[in-house]
Amino acid sequence: MRLTKLKDAFVRSAAYERRFLVKNPWDLAMVFWIPLATVLLIWWIFSQIQITDLPIGVIDNDRGPVANTALRYLEANPNLTVKQLYHTPAAAKAAILQRDIYAVVIIPEDFSRNILLSKPAPIVLQVNAQYGTHSGIIQTSVQSVIGTLSAGVEMKRLVKQGMAPSQAAIAYSPISIQRISLFNAATDYQQFLASTVIPALLHILAMVIGATTIGRELRDKRIGRWYHFINGSHVSLTLPPKDDQPNNDSQPSPLDNVSASQNQAPEEVSIPVLVFGLLGKYFWPLLAYSIWSILALWLAAPQQSIAISALMVTYISLVLLMMLSFWLGAIFTLGSFSLRMGLSATGFISAPSYAFAGVTFPYVAISKNAQHWSDVLPLTHYLKLHIAQLQMQAPVIISLPIVYGLTLATLVTLYLTALLSKRALAHPERWGAR
């Protein structure tokens, strides 16, 4: 009998929420369609696998043969495109300020002559370091071009002195580096950023859903009505026949038949009923986010084969993250008795969480206090698992502690949400806060 009542609380709560979503298209879109649009939009933004053809400018004050060779090498680099030759530093700076180019290479006077005379011949690179990713790629590419040019010049000098070309190559660079990229060898930005940005955005949206789903009941002073209904109020959920419904929005819902007394605080509140009622209330958001999580992981999986166990543990962890996000959003709202404060808290917690996760900025480089804050955020731990399983293909056993931690956190926050819901039901005088 007890299990039947709990099951009924879940079903009735899910039916209650379904009817609300059907009658409120914007809330329905927030649950179903906006997460889908977010996943597809982010993947579209990062559809270009690599950053190529970054525009740069060149000021050639030499116009000699070696300078011309340097210009050809710059144009041949796949990461760069020489957009324009400038005659003055002022014109190049104006182009940088207008973001027509991101850097300018300045070849000084007598550049070719100094090289032929074996004198120092520095090339100046002015780069807009405000754009970190752009500037890093440009600096690496220009350095590679100049290194190749310098090696060629030095090898020609050695050959003129009578050394064999093969010996000249060894003499110029006796120590070489054999680089082996263990993960993401192609420097695929979809794997590096898109696959981690999407869970971060879903995390933010889920916390917003968590805050609004229970928060609107508080705001509209209907949380007592909701509890009475899931606890067994005899209210029919069957709509009248379509022929009997007037063609306007004023048609009362069967849920509106709940008596005025049922909008008041209940005398007794059962925690198990609240737990199952909350699970039912968040059933549709969880269903939607579970589906879009499958899509996100399918897009995030690299081309090489990924073990089914890795995909399953990542998917389970992502769903746990979504559930945890729901409960955290609900906790912030119920704790403050205000939907507005709850939404503000979710933004404060979730929006910067990606910056603390160690994806874009190294975790080891942030301060100790920031590391402690990062360790508290659930997104940090999920992204660590996500990268390990999908991108580094680590053994599943390495990530199991994170799965256990997310599971425990989800259960604890669900119970805390139920306790705070009970507290909210006991204080009807605080219902209606914005």
Handedness of CA 2, 234, 423, 17 (dihedral sign): positive
Domain ranges (residues) in the chain = 2-47+188-239+248-430, 54-172
What average pLDDT does the segment 201-218 reach? 93
Contact 398, 388 (CB under 8 A): yes
For the record, the structure tokens of 215 come out as: 């928060």
Q: What percent of the chain has pLDDT over 70?
A: 80
pLDDT digits (tens, 9 = 90+) for 224-259: 989 989 987 654 444 333 344 444 444 444 444 444
Strand pairing category for 103-107 and 54-60: parallel
For the record, the structure tokens of 325 come out as: 């996000």
Predicted confidence at residue 84, as pLDDT, reads 87
**Winning range, highest mean pLDDT, from 167-171, 285-289, 298-302:** 285-289
**Neighbour count for residue 273 (Cβ, 10 Å):** 21
Handedness of CA 191, 192, 196, 198 (dihedral sign): negative
List the strands of the sheet with 124-127, edge to edge: 80-85, 54-60, 103-107, 124-127
Q: What share of the chain is helix, strand, coil (3-state, %, to 5)?
A: 65, 5, 30
d(Cα 186, Cα 49) in Å, to the nearest integer?
A: 8
Name the nearest CA neighbour of 421 among 235, 227, 283, 231: 227
Mean pLDDT, the chain, whole residue set: 82
pLDDT digits (tens, 9 = 90+) for 255-284: 444 444 556 777 788 899 999 999 999 999
| CA–CA distances in Å: residue 153 to residues 156, 163, 319, 370 | 5, 14, 58, 49
> Rounded to 5 degrees, what angle do the CA atoms 431, 235, 422 make?
35
pLDDT digits (tens, 9 = 90+) for 32-55: 899 889 888 887 877 666 677 889
With respect to CATH, is domain 54-172 assigned 3.10.580.10?
Answer: no
Does the pLDDT of residue 420 top 90, yes or no?
A: yes
Strand pairing category for 54-60 and 80-85: parallel
pLDDT digits (tens, 9 = 90+) for 91-107: 998 998 888 999 999 98
pLDDT digits (tens, 9 = 90+) for 290-320: 999 998 888 777 655 778 898 999 999 999 9
Predicted confidence at residue 418, as pLDDT, reads 96
Does the pLDDT of residue 182 top 70, yes or no?
A: no
